Structure 1
């Protein structure tokens, strides 16, 4: 079954959707959309370094994404506006990564595949990495679910409950770095933030509890992956962007349906 490239691609897309769904909910609740985008952009520098050092692209992208996320967390509130800091670091890392790639002699690299994904070229090893990373992210989120929710709602309440919001932020940061690393092969660096944000934003109007929102977001992400791949196959369009397009269409349709339900039309 795994010998079929479409089967491997579908499993990869669903795996990324399951990893991104619960994390994307926290990104939406904490208004960290730009944070996720900045972390994803930094992964290009990690890819360049991993190719230069001949190590795993997954490991290089995850380490640099994690360093970027930790740097932003550490520098925030030290005289820099968070959006300015994210803009400077994100675009600087992306630019340095693209320049570093141009210096790699003797290394053939498909830059478009890393920017927009190459899900149709997913191998069995890639599947193991994607699903292993997804399981780790879901495990981390489930382990700290209550603490993460409390810290997201109110930091003072978290401190009063004996929790450390900075530790919960670190767990989210690590989860984000892992998700970025496993999603590069599927949707690419430039579209990772979309898979984090759009399914979670689409699920927000349908869910009555945080747990329901995470579950609905996972379903929307999985549907987007499957339908996007089928659309790419039928219409001969890029697979990664097609997946994001389906997610955007679902977001628009669900919001329109919610608006009509509220207005009684």
Structure 2
């Protein structure tokens, strides 16, 4: 079954959707869209590091994404507005990563594949990494779900409940770094934030509880991957952007239905 490239691509897209769904809900609730974007942009620097050290892309992107996320967390509230800080770090990391790749001797890579994803080239080993990372992220979210919700709702309430919001922020940071590392092969650096935010934003109008929102977001993300890949195959369009386009259409449809139901 895994000899079929479309089957591997579909499974990879669904795996990324499952990892991004619960995390995307917290990104939406905490208004951390720029945070996810900055972490994703830093992944290109991780690609350059991995190629320079002649190792798999995953550990390099995971390490750099984690360093970026931790840097943003530690520098928050140090005199700069969060959106300014994230803008500086995100674009700087992307620029340094692109420049670093150009200095690698004797290595020719398709930067478009890392910027917009190359899901059709996913191998069985990539699939194992993606689903392993997705399982780890889901496990982390399930383990810390109650504490994460409490600290997201109110930090004072979290402290009163014996929960340290900074520790929960680190859990989100680690989960985000893992998601970026496994998603870069599927949708690329520039579209990772879209897969985090759009399904979760669409699910917000369909769910009444946080748990239901995470489940609906996973379903929307998985459906976007499935339909987007089929559309890319039929119309010969880029696979990663096609997945995000389907997610955007679903988001628009959910909001349109919500608007019509209120009239």
Q: TM-score range by the shorter chain?
A: over 0.9
Which residue of the partner structure matches residue 36 of structure 2? 36
Which residue of the partner structure matches residue 183 of structure 2? 183
Q: Does 1:227 align with 2:241?
A: no
Give how far 1:230 is off. 0.1
1:59-70 to structure 2, matched below 5 A, reads 59-70=59-70
Deviations 1:101-143 (A, max 9, x none): 1011111211000000000000000000000000000000000
Which residue of the partner structure matches residue 86 of structure 2? 86
| Aligned-residue RMSD, C-alpha | 0.4
Which residue of the partner structure matches residue 198 of structure 2? 198
Give how far 1:40 is off. 0.1
Which residue of the partner structure matches residue 107 of structure 2? 107
Which residue of the partner structure matches residue 256 of structure 1? 256
1:7-156 to structure 2, matched below 5 A, reads 7-156=7-156
Give how far 1:18 is off. 0.2
Deviations 1:186-210 (A, max 9, x none): 0000000000000000000110000
Moved over 2 A (4+): none
Q: Distance in 2 between matches of 1:247 and 1:221?
A: 7
Q: Distance in 2 between matches of 1:22 and 1:146?
A: 13
Q: Distance in 1 between matches of 2:63 and 2:105?
A: 23
Q: Distance in 2 between matches of 1:259 and 1:165?
A: 36
Q: Distance in 2 between matches of 1:139 and 1:56?
A: 24
Give how far 1:80 is off. 1.2
Which residue of the partner structure matches residue 173 of structure 1? 173
Give how far 1:55 is off. 1.8
Instruction: Tell me the secondary structure at the aligned position of residue 185 of structure 2.
Output: helix
Deviations 1:125-170 (A, max 9, x none): 0000000000000000000000000000000000000000000000
Q: Distance in 2 between matches of 1:72 and 1:80?
A: 11
Give how far 1:84 is off. 0.6
**TM-score (norm: length of structure 2):** 0.99
Q: Distance in 1 between matches of 2:259 and 2:45?
A: 42
- Give unmatched runs, 5+ long, in structure 1: none
Q: Does 1:157 align with 2:157?
A: yes
Instruction: Tell me the secondary structure at the aligned position of residue 144 of structure 1.
Output: helix
